[in-house]
Amino acid sequence: MRTKKIENVNKKGRLLYMLRLLYENTDDQHVMSTNEIIDWFTKRGIPVHRKTVKDDIDTLVQAGYDIETVHTNHSSFYFGEREFELPELKLLIDAVMSSRFITDEKSRKMIRKLTKLASQYQSSDLVRHLYTAGRVKPSNEKIYYVVNSITDAINAKKKIRFNYEEYTPDKKIILRHDGEVYVNSPYALFWSNDFYYLIGYSEKHEGIIQFRVDRMVNTEILDEQAVPAPEGFDAAEYGKEFFEMFCGDEVTVTLECENTLMKTIIDKFGEEVETKKVGLDKFRAKVKVAASPVFYGWVFQFVGQIKIISPAAVKKQYQKMLQDAIEK
């Protein structure tokens, strides 16, 4: 806070200044003595004395603020436990910096707000050096407001309407189907591969469908009640099936993997996945998936370190997909 005179401050106002002073300028490594606190207030034209400082801090402690007292020759004070610990703030800042969903400008604003949750001394520790290769940030902040509208509609059990954007071959953004208005009963938002998706009942498709939120524009909440979700509908399971490798009829596939990929298999299929060692450097895993392009694409990324062993029909389909991807 700047050093300037503060006029007409009553006891309640003084307490707020005391709270802000300690919150911004102290932590467990940086304390303020009674004399320093008195000096700070005096420079701003607020008369305080030692008993005033003690009484005000006692009042803040009674109100639930964690203000610690260090007893030496002269009592000193610091703001203790905060809403977020420093490691938690670092994780949040990293998440904001790396998210494709958050624009550069919004990232900077959010990070500034997050650093204010720490003392001025701790803020220097929050300077992050995280680099995300190839990370494309959006330029339009409309996404935040669309997410907010969808959340409000879900809570109110109301329908929404919107237009949907797409790209032309020359990279121009246009509205799909000449500006067609989509009406949807939203059930959930799903986060996958750094994108938000709306899951809900589509009037046009007469069924549950998903839309990418960053492509939705002109979103409005309607007065109409949303179509209730089907009995037993589980948004998490729906998202898992659609966005991962489990959409469609399940089939048991045997994969042969290099030993270094055991963690990858467990991360994807869980610790209960059935595995068996094959030789010194490989193992086989039996997994249940839908034999879909999503699954085949997942296998392909390992460039031969994971191979499909059986069933034969799945191997044949994978080979066909690879052949189709090669220019003839």
Judged by DSSP in three states, 53 sits in: helix
Long-range pairs for 102-105 at CB < 8 Å and ≥24 separation? 102/137, 102/138, 103/137, 103/138, 103/139, 103/140, 103/141, 104/137, 105/141
DSSP element (H, E) containing 278:
strand 274-278
Give 139-184 pLDDT, tens digit per residue.
Answer: 666 788 888 899 999 999 999 999 999 888 777 889 999 999 999 9
- Could you give all domains of the chain from N- to C-terminal order, each with its CATH number? 11-79 (1.10.10.10), 86-126 (no CATH), 142-240 (no CATH), 244-324 (3.30.70.240)
Residue 194 in tokens: 């750094």
From the DSSP assignment, how many helices (H) and strands (E) are in the chain? 11, 13
* Residue 108 pLDDT class (50, 70, 90 cuts): confident
pLDDT at 22: 96
pLDDT at 328: 60
Question: DSSP for 194-222?
Answer: TEEEEEEEETTTTEEEEEEGGGEEEEEEE
pLDDT at 286: 94
Q: Report the distance separating Cα 224 and Cα 237, nearest Å.
A: 27
pLDDT at 20: 94
Determine the average pLDDT of the residues in 21-50: 93
Residue 179 in tokens: 């500006």
pTM for this model (two decimals): 0.61
User: Residue 95: what residue type?
Assistant: A
Determine the average pLDDT of the residues in 29-39: 94
Q: Report the distance separating Cα 242 and Cα 188, nearest Å.
A: 14
118 neighbors 83 (Cβ within 8 angstroms): no
* Residue 59 pLDDT class (50, 70, 90 cuts): very high
pLDDT at 39: 94
Higher pLDDT, 185 or 251: 185
CA nearest 253: which of 281, 291, 283, 279?
291
How many percent of the chain have pLDDT more than 70? 90
* Residue 106 pLDDT class (50, 70, 90 cuts): confident
* Residue 99 pLDDT class (50, 70, 90 cuts): confident
Bond preceding residue 47 cis, omega within 30 of 0: no
Q: Report the distance separating Cα 294 and Cα 13, nearest Å.
A: 60
How many percent of the chain have pLDDT more than 90? 47
pLDDT at 101: 74
Determine the average pLDDT of the residues in 222-238: 90
Give 125-142 pLDDT, tens digit per residue.
Answer: 787 655 554 555 666 667
Q: Report the distance separating Cα 28 and Cα 87, nearest Å.
A: 15
Chain-wide mean pLDDT for the chain? 86
DSSP element (H, E) containing 186:
strand 182-192
pLDDT at 159: 96
pLDDT at 243: 66
pLDDT at 125: 79
203 neighbors 211 (Cβ within 8 angstroms): no
* Residue 86 pLDDT class (50, 70, 90 cuts): confident
Q: Report the distance separating Cα 275 and Cα 298, nearest Å.
A: 19
Residue 256 in tokens: 């042969």
* Residue whose entry in the numeric block shows the structure tokens 């469908």: 209
Determine the average pLDDT of the residues in 36-41: 94
137 neighbors 103 (Cβ within 8 angstroms): yes
